Structure 1
C-alpha cells in the first residue's frame, strides 16, 4: 500500500502543471500557461496513471490479503485496547478522521483552483501557494493545537542540502557545455518527427533524473530545449515529454525525486523499513513501461487534437 501510494502520488504531478514546483519553473521558461499545459497533458497523463495503477495491481496481486486482519501493532485507542480504523466499535474516531481528511482534500482542491485563477488574472502562482500553506498552518494551530514551529524541526534538511548540491552540479555541467552537447546530438532526432521528439526527450530526462534527481534534470533539459530553435508544436511536445520523464520516469531509483526521498525519510522515522532493493524490484518493472506508454499516449493525443 505504501509503495503503490508513493509511486502514484508522485506520478500524479504529471497531468497538471501546478502539481510540482519544477513543472512550474519549466513552464515559465517555455512561456506556456497552465491552461494550455493542462489541455495538452491531462489526458495522456491520466492514462499513464491508470496504466501505472493496473501494473501495480498485477505486481502486488498475490500480496493483497483477502481480508484485513487485526494486528497488535495498531495505533492504541485506549491504554489496553489497540485500535484499527475498520475495527467494530471504532466508528466515532473513524468518522472524525474521515471528516478531517475530507476537509483537507477540499482545501487542497480549492488551493489548486485558486492557482489557475491566479494564473488567469496575472497574480503570482507562487504567492498564492505560500498563502495557502500559511492558512493551513494557522488552521492546524487553531483546531489541532499544534504550533507551526514543529515544522522547522521536522524538515529533513539533509535532503534539501542534497537537492541543492544536485542543482550546483547540474548547472556546473550546463556551464561547461552539457546543454550544447545535448543539443548537438538530440536536435536532429527531435526534429525528425513528433514521436521521436516525445520518446527521445522523455527517456533522456528520465535517465538524467535517476542520476541527478528530477529537479535539476528537468532544468537542464528545458534549458537545452530553449536553444534548439524548434517550431512551436515541437517545442511544446518536447517540454511535455520532459515533464513525463521527470515526474514518472524519475521513479526508477529513490534518488530520482525529492518526494521519494522525503517519503523514505518519513518511513524511517516511523520505523517502517523499505530498502532500495525492495523499491527497485517494483519500479524496474512498472516505471519503464508506464513511461513509454505515457509518452506514446502524449504523441497520439497531440497528433489527434493539436497537429490537425
Structure 2
C-alpha cells in the first residue's frame, strides 16, 4: 500500500507539472503530496527532513542561477547574442543553425538549461525572423541543446549538481572528463538536425531590416565570465556554487537597481518548492521498492557495454518519470561507480529530447512557443527525438569511454 500510494502521488505530481492547469505553479500539488507521504507514515519525517536538507544547497543554486540568467537578459546579453548570431548567419539558414548551436551550447553550459529555454528561445525566434529563415530548425535546436548541451559543467543542469557530489570529481575534473562527451553529443545533434530539417534549411531567406545591432554589454559579460571562473575556484575551497551564482546576480542587480520584489519573483521560489516536494515523494517511492528494482538493473562493472546500458536505462526512466526524478532514483544506485554515474548523466540529459515530458525545460519551451504562436508539432518532436536521441546517446557514451580511458576518474 505504501508503494502504491507513493507511486500514485508521484504520478499525480508529474501529471500536474506537465499540464499546469490555469498556469498554477507545480508546487501546488508537489508540496501537499510531500506532506501527505509524511503524515500517512509512508516516509518518516526524519527521512523527509534529511532529503530536504540534502537538496537545499542544490535548490539554492537553482534559484540563484535563474536570477543570474534573468539579470543577464536585462543587461542585454541575449539580445546581443541574437544580433551576433544574425550577423554571423549572413542570411543563410544553414549558418544560422550553426550559430544557434554555438550560442545555445555555450548558454546552456555557462548559465544552465533554464537560461537557454526561457531567455534564448525568444531571441532565437526573433533572429530567425530577422534573417528571413524558417524558425523550426533554430527553435527546436534551443530545446534539444538545453538538455543535451548541459553535460559540460556541474552547474549546467540541476541533474549534474545532484550527481556532482557523489562523483568525487573537482569542478575542473568534471569538466575535463565531460568535455569530449559534450562535444560528441552536440556534433551528433547537429548532423541529425542538418538532415532532418534539410528542406527548411534549403528554403530561400527573406531578411527583414530592423535597425542597428545593440552594443556589447561588456559589464555583464565580464561579470558572467568572473562568475563562471568563480565556480571553478570556489569548489576546492568548499564554497557551494549557489553562493558564487548569488554574488554574480548581486553584481548584475546593483547597476540596474532591481527591487527585492523582482529578485524574489525571478528566483522562482514556487519552482524551488516543487523540486523539494518532488524529492520527498521520489524518496518515498524509492524506499518502498524502487531502489531494490534499480539496484537489480544496474551493472556492477563499468565497461563500454555497461556504460551504454546505464545511459539507455537513464534515458528510458527520464521519459517515463521525468529526468529529475530519474536522477534522484539512479544516483544512489551508481554512486560507488563514478563512470556509471557519468553515463547516467548522459542518459538523463540527452534522453529527454525524445518526448515533451522528459524534462521540465522541454515543457517550458513548449509553453513559450505556444505563447508566441509558434506551437511545435508533437509528431515532429517525436520523430526528431527518435533520430537524435539514440545517435547522441551512443556518441556521448563512446566519447565518455574514451575520455575515461585517457583521463580516468
**Contact kept? 1:18, 1:34, Cα under 8 Å:** no
> Which structure 1 residue ranges, 4+ long, deviate > 4 Å from structure 2?
102-106, 150-166
2:240 aligned with 1:124, yes or no? yes
The Cα shift of 1:154 comes to 7.1
Q: 2:345 aligns with which of 239, 243, 247?
A: 243
Instruction: Output one character per residue of 1:215-264: Cα deviation in whole Å (capped at 9) or x when no partner.
Output: 121121111123xxx5xxxx111011011111111221122122212222
The Cα shift of 1:59 comes to 1.0
**Contact kept? 2:168, 2:338, Cα under 8 Å:** no
**Contact kept? 2:147, 2:352, Cα under 8 Å:** no
Query: Could you state the TM-score of these two structures normalised by the residue count of structure 2?
Result: 0.60
Aligned to 2:169: 32
Matches within 5 A, 1:160-239: 166-186=278-298, 189-191=299-301, 193-226=302-335, 230=336, 235-239=337-341
Matches within 5 A, 1:3-22: 3-22=140-159
Aligned to 2:216: 99
Instruction: Output one character per residue of 1:115-150: Cα deviation in whole Å (capped at 9) or x when no partner.
Output: 1111132222111112223333444x34xxx75645
User: Is the alpha carbon distance of 1:39 and 1:52 closer, same or farther for their aligned partners in structure 2, counting shifts above 3 Å?
Assistant: same
Aligned to 2:368: 266
The Cα shift of 1:281 comes to 2.2
Structure 1: runs of 5 or more not aligned:
71-83
2:211 aligned with 1:90, yes or no? yes
2:394 aligned with 1:277, yes or no? no
User: Is the alpha carbon distance of 1:132 and 1:5 closer, same or farther for their aligned partners in structure 2, counting shifts above 3 Å?
Assistant: same
SS in 2 for 1:90: coil
SS in 1 for 2:239: coil
Q: What is the aligned length?
A: 272
User: Is the alpha carbon distance of 1:133 and 1:156 closer, same or farther for their aligned partners in structure 2, counting shifts above 3 Å?
Assistant: closer
Tell me, in whole angstroms, the C-alpha distance in 2 between the residues paired with 1:60 and 1:168: 41
**Contact kept? 2:291, 2:333, Cα under 8 Å:** yes
Query: Could you state the TM-score of these two structures normalised by the residue count of structure 1?
Result: 0.77
Tell me, in whole angstroms, the C-alpha distance in 2 between the residues paired with 1:241 and 1:123: 26
**Contact kept? 1:190, 1:196, Cα under 8 Å:** no
User: Is the alpha carbon distance of 1:282 and 1:148 closer, same or farther for their aligned partners in structure 2, counting shifts above 3 Å?
Assistant: farther
SS in 2 for 1:109: helix
**Contact kept? 1:137, 1:148, Cα under 8 Å:** no
**Contact kept? 1:156, 1:262, Cα under 8 Å:** no
The Cα shift of 1:168 comes to 4.2
Matches within 5 A, 1:34-183: 34-70=171-207, 84=208, 87=209, 90-91=211-212, 94=213, 96=214, 99-100=216-217, 104-139=220-255, 141-142=256-257, 149-150=261-262, 166-183=278-295
The Cα shift of 1:27 comes to 0.9
Tell me, in whole angstroms, the C-alpha distance in 2 between the residues paired with 1:107 and 1:176: 46
